[in-house]
């Protein structure tokens, strides 16, 4: 099993937000402040299986667990 295609860099304007990628993770479909809002927006845009991820904050370094 391989997933080694280099995906695009997530732009800084999405920092701290939930991001919904298309299922193949080639493009960002939607962003939002909450998981539910972002998933709903991605599905409304036609992506049945959005892949969601919470992007790191631009000005705070994540070092594990709760920040």
Positions that interact with other proteins (CB under 8 A)? 1-12, 15-16, 18, 21, 23, 25, 33-36, 39, 49-59, 61-67
Compute the least distance from the CB of residue 60 to other proteins, in Å.
9
Minimum CB separation of residue 39 from other proteins in Å reads: 7
CA distance 6 to 47: 21
Residue 31 parent element (H or E): strand 28-32
In the bound complex, what is the minimum distance in angstroms from residue 55's beta carbon to other proteins? 6
Q: Of 51, 54, 15, nearest to 34 (Cα)?
A: 54
């Amino acid at each position: 099993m391989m997933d080694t295609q280099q995906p695009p860099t997530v732009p800084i304007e999405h920092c701290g937000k939930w991001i919904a990628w298309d299922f193949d993770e080639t493009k960002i479909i939607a962003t939002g402040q909450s998981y539910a809002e972002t998933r709903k927006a991605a599905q409304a845009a036609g992506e049945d299986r959005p892949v969601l991820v919470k992007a790191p904050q631009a000005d705070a370094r994540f070092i594990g667990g709760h920040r």
